Amino acid sequence: MKHPALSGHLLGADVIAETFTTAWRRLNDVPAGDGARLWLYGAARLRLHRAHKRLAKELNDLDIDLTTYGSRAVSLAEGRS
């Protein structure tokens, strides 16, 4: 069974959803104009970083070392045979 966080599409969708939810909640903190885009990029980057750290911890807790298996592990994680 594949871990949901290993799917890039699901992770990306979650990061986008969390970023815009945060922007909505903190609307008064989001700058106007082009600054809003930079604020959103920064917020998304932070969420993506946290998601990757969380996934790395989960994999570490499971005692899985993907580097041992190289590109084959990446292919399997992405759902390719």
Q: Under a CB-based contact definition with an 8 Å cutoff, are residues 54 and 48 in contact?
A: no
Residue with tokens 């885009």: 37
Domain count of the chain? Answer: 1
Q: What is the pLDDT of residues 24-76, one digit of tens each?
A: 999 999 999 999 999 999 999 998 888 888 888 877 777 666 565 555 555 65
Taken as a whole, the chain contains a residue count of: 81
pTM of the model: 0.60
Q: Which domain holds residue 42?
A: 4-77
